[in-house]
Amino acid sequence: MAFVIFGDNFSFPEGNASTNRVYAYAKGLIENGVGVSVICFENEYVKDQEGITEGISYYHPFGQAERNKYFLIRRWQKFVKYFKAIRLFRKIIKTENIETIMVYTMRLSTHVFAWYLSKITGSKLVKECSEHPLINYQKGSLKKIEGFFKLKIESRLCDGIFCISQFLVDFFKHNGVPQNKLFLIPSTVDPTRFSQNGESPFPHPYIGYFGGLTFNRDNVDVLIRAFASLTNNHPDLNLILGGFCSEKEMEQIKNLIQDLNLSSKVTVLGYLSRTEIIRYIIHSEILVMVRAKDLETQASFPSKLTEYMATAKPVVTVKVGEIPDYLTDGVDSFLIEPGNTSELAEKLDYVLNNYDIALKIAGQGKELTTTTFNYNFQAKRIIRFLETLN
C-alpha cells in the first residue's frame, strides 16, 4: 500500500508546524509498512526539487530554484506544475499502487485537483484538517457564502477527513459530513527526536518559547511581561524566543523588550532549521506555550506543545481549545488561563522554586508522547481507519 501526502499548506523538508505534522504522518506509516511519498504543491523556490530525507521521498513539481523576472513566464510555470504533478503520480504508480492520497491544503482549487488525481490513480482521497476550514471566511456575508460552498464541495470530494480536534469532528458533523468519514488524530510527535544531548546553546539557564511570534494570536507579549516580573528573583534566568514573524511584529517585540529593560535578558532567534531548533528546545529550563483564545485555537492543537512534552522538561501552557482535555494542571503539565500575565508569572516562579517536583510532573507529560500523541501509535490507527473507507 502506498500513501501520498499532497498539498500546498506545508513546506518540505524544512518548514513550520504543518511540516512537522507531515513528517509524523510519513514516518509513522513507513514504520508500519506503508510506502509514503510527499508532494509539495506550493509555488516554492527551492534548490532541491526532489530527494529523500529520513527515508521519506519528496517532490516539488513547481520545480523552480529562483523567481523569474518575467510575469508571463511565472504564470506559465504555475500552470505547468499541474502537468508535472500528473506525470509524477503516473511515475509513482508504475512501481507501487497508490491506495490513498492525503490532501493538505486550504485552497479549493488544490483540493479539486487532488480529487482528480485520486480518480486517475484509483485511490481514496483524505482531507487533512489541522485548523478551522472557514478561518479565512469569517468577514462579510459574501465571504461566508463562499466559505460555505467551499466546505460543501471539499466534504463531498473526499472519502475521509483527518481532524486534529474533536471540535473539528463536531463541526463537520454539524455540516452534514457522516461520522464514518471523520477521524480524530491529535497532535503527534516522534519523541526520539528530543532524546539527544549535546551542549546548551547558551551559558545561562533560560525559558524557551518556540512558535509564532505574534501578540494577537500567540500572546508573546504576555510571556515577555511575565518574564520581566521574574528577573529580580531569578537574575541569571534568560528568555529565548524562536519562530516566524513579520518585520512589523519583530519591531513590536523589540520595542516591548526595550521598554521593559530586558535587552540583555531576552534573545529573539532568527530562522532555525527543523534539526537546529531541537538543541534550543531540549536545553530550556522551562518551555512555555502561550496562545490567545479564539476560533483558531478552539479548532486546532499546537504541535509544538507535544514536542515540548517529549523533552521531559516542565511545560507551562494555556487552557485553550482541547488542551485541558488531554493535560491536567500539576499532574503532567502546568496550565494557566490565556492572557493572564500575573498567573503565568506565578506559575513560572513556582516551577523554578520547585524544580524537582516540576521535573516529576514533566515526566508524566512525556509518557503521553509514547501513547496518545505518539506518531507510530497514531499511524496504526490511521491504517485501520483507511481500511474502513469504501
CA distance 125 to 328: 36
* Lowest model confidence (mean pLDDT) among 64-68, 126-130, 132-136, 314-318: 132-136
- Residue 215 region by backbone torsions, left for phi larger than 0, else alpha for psi between -120 and 50, else beta: alpha
Q: What is the pLDDT of residue 271?
A: 75
Decide if pLDDT at 4 tops 90. yes
Q: What is the pLDDT of residue 112?
A: 98
Smallest CA-to-CA distance from 316 within 388, 224, 209 is with 209
Q: Are 100 and 386 in contact (CB under 8 A)?
A: yes
> Of 20-24, 270-274, 368-372, where does mean pLDDT reach its minimum?
270-274
pLDDT band, residue 293 (cuts 50/70/90):
confident
Convert the pLDDT of each residue in 199-230 to its tens digit. 899 999 999 999 888 888 889 999 999 999 99
**What is the spatial distance between Cα 385 and Cα 279, in angstroms, rounded to a whole number?**
35
Is pLDDT at 387 greater than 90 in this prediction?
A: yes
Q: Which residues neighbour 145 within 8 Å (Cβ) at sequence distance 6 or greater? A: none
H/E stretch holding 28 reads helix 17-31
Mean pLDDT over 231-253 rounds to 92
Residue 300 has pLDDT above 80, yes or no: yes
Q: For cell 508546524, what's the residue?
A: 17
Task: Pinpoint the residues of the chain covered by CATH 3.40.50.2000.
Answer: 2-188+374-388, 191-368
The pLDDT assigned to 378 comes to: 96
β-pairing, 315-318 with 238-242?
unpaired
Give whole-number Cα distances, 104 to 5, 65, 91, 125, 268, in Å: 7, 23, 21, 11, 30
Is 191-368 in CATH node 3.40.50.2000? yes
Cell numbers that stand for 167 in this block: 471540535
Specify the range with the lowest mean pLDDT, choosing from 88-97, 211-220, 363-372: 211-220
pLDDT band at 78; cut points 50, 70, 90: very high
Pairing of strands 315-318, 334-336: parallel
Per-residue pLDDT band at 16 (split at 50, 70, 90)? confident
pLDDT number for residue 246: 85
Q: Which amino acid is at 65?
A: A
d(CA 354, CA 342): 18
For residue 90, the model assigns a pLDDT of 94
Q: What pLDDT is recorded for position 146?
A: 94
What is d(CA 336, CA 342) in angstroms, rounded to the nearest whole number?
A: 10
Residue percentage of the chain with pLDDT more than 70: 100
| 109-131 per-position pLDDT tens digit | 999 999 999 999 999 999 999 99
- In angstroms, the CA 46 to CA 66 distance is 7
pLDDT of 196 higher than 80 = no
Write the CA distances from 286 to 37, 100, 208, integer angstroms: 36, 40, 6
DSSP 64: B
Best CATH choice for the domain 2-188+374-388 from the list 3.30.365.10, 3.40.350.10, 3.40.50.2000, 2.40.420.20 = 3.40.50.2000
Q: Residue 340, Cβ neighbours under 10 Å: how many?
A: 17
Residue 295 pLDDT greater than 90, yes or no: no
**pLDDT above 90: residue 289:** yes
The yes-or-no verdict on residue 87 having pLDDT over 90 is: yes
Distance CA 257, CA 60 (A): 40
Please name the residue that has the C-alpha cell 500546498.
8
Which of 290, 288, 289, 296 minimizes the C-alpha distance to 321?
296
Q: Taking each helix axis as running N to C, give the angle between helix 141-156 and helix 108-121, from 0 to 180 degrees, rounded to the nearest 10.
A: 10
Q: Kindly tell me if the per-residue pLDDT of 100 is higher than 90.
A: yes
Residues 53-62 have a mean pLDDT of 95
What is the residue type of 71? F
Residue 148, classed as helix, strand or coil, is: helix
Contact (Cβ atoms closer than 8 angstroms) between residue 295 and residue 301:
no
Global pTM reads 0.92
Judge contact between 346 and 287, C-beta under 8 A: no
Residue identified by cell 488525481 is: 117
Cell numbers given for 388: 474502513
Residue-level length of the chain: 390
